[in-house]
Amino acid sequence: MKHLLTAAMPRDEAVALLDLAEDMHQIQDREVKKLPALRGRTVVNLFFEDSTRTRSSFEIAGKWLSADVINVSGKGSSVSKGESLRDTGLTIAAMGVDGVVVRSGSSGAPAQLADWIGRPVVNAGDGTHEHPTQALLDAFALRRRIHGGAARGRGLDGVRIAIVGDIAHSRVARSNALLLPALGAEVTLVGPPSLLPVAAADGTRLGVRAETSLDRVIAERPDALMLLRVQLERQAGRIAPSAGEYITGWSLTDERLARLGDAHIMHPGPMNRGLELSSRAADSDASTILEQVTAGVSVRMAVLYSLLASDHPSSVDGGTR
């Protein structure tokens, strides 16, 4: 693996990354959370959009692997003086860094950066395009819930996952729609017609199914329900349908929670309680939300190790872009 720009990858590559993340996950139980794998390596987290989970967990992941981690954000950097992404990337690369983790509001920015700077690049979320480490951590958390201690080497074969909400604006939905079917899962994208992209309506093109009725999907008793954040900032300050209509049709309310059965409840965060799901749903035993956050550190350790560790077999050859 040379870069991680997309969640589109072969099953064996995804399972290998999830298994490596299982190895990394052991560190959670240790008193001293430090491995020497990336000693002497420097990673820059370049975040042009706000983030709590992704930026913190990449920083923790790098530090637990003994890398030096530098955080650069759009605000407070020379980007606010008009410097281009290319010049910012080349400037950082010229300082001798070994890898760059980038979040950008512009779809395709990480791929551009990868072409320009000649260093491993990780896509930490680009516009409405992709968020590959989110999809990997979602798969990791769900695989653990379903297979427990026997998760290694396994995919998510036959697991029925409904992804609900603002599909059109969601990089999380896109990356999961690429990764989860590769792991054998059956994915249904659920949302209001105005928030379902045209491509999703033709599910055969993506290998997923599209549905507009959350109630019909709940009646099918899915194994997992992933609620997406309603992205107010990508909808020019308004949502269509209205918040009230959204709650009526697509929110995991207490009433729908009662009909959901044993499904695992997932959300990438940050969540809007009362809009995408009720507090009772978010805080229930079925919720994997905090397990997803914990998984984020393990998965990001696995990604950084795969890209940057000199003793990792794929760190010196080509592979997934």
**Window of 17-25, 161-169, 217-225, 268-276 that interacts with ligand CP by CB under 6 A:** 268-276
- The DSSP line for 247-282 is HHHH-B-HHHHHHSTT-EEE--S---BTTTB-HHHH
106 scored as a contact of ligand CP (CB under 6 A): no
Q: Which is nearer to ligand CP, 208 or 226 (CB)?
A: 226
Minimum CB distance to ligand CP, residue 72 (Å): 16
Largest CA distance in the chain: 56
Residue 97 and residue 305 in contact, taking contact as beta carbons nearer than 8 Å: no
Q: Which is nearer to ligand CP, 51 or 315 (CB)?
A: 51
Q: Which of 6, 42, 45, 54 binds ligand CP (CB under 6 A)?
A: 54
Q: Which of 200, 222, 268, 281 binds ligand CP (CB under 6 A)?
A: 268
Structure tokens belonging to residue 142: 């769900």
Buried b (16+ CB within 10 A) or exposed e, 55-94: bebbbbbbbbbebebbebbbeebebeeeeebeebbeebbe
**Window of 31-39, 86-94, 155-163, 263-271 that interacts with ligand CP by CB under 6 A:** 263-271
233 scored as a contact of ligand CP (CB under 6 A): no
Alpha-carbon radius of gyration of the chain: 19
Which helix H or strand E contains 299, and what residues bound it? helix 289-308
Residue 153: CB atoms within 10 A of its CB come to 11
Minimum CB distance to ligand CP, residue 238 (Å): 21
Minimum CB distance to ligand CP, residue 278 (Å): 20
Minimum CB distance to ligand CP, residue 222 (Å): 21
Q: Which of 26, 52, 194, 279 binds ligand CP (CB under 6 A)?
A: 52
269 scored as a contact of ligand CP (CB under 6 A): yes
Closest residue by Cα to residue 144 from 43, 242, 24? 24
270 scored as a contact of ligand CP (CB under 6 A): yes
Contacting positions for ligand CP (CB under 6 A): 51-54, 125, 134, 268-270
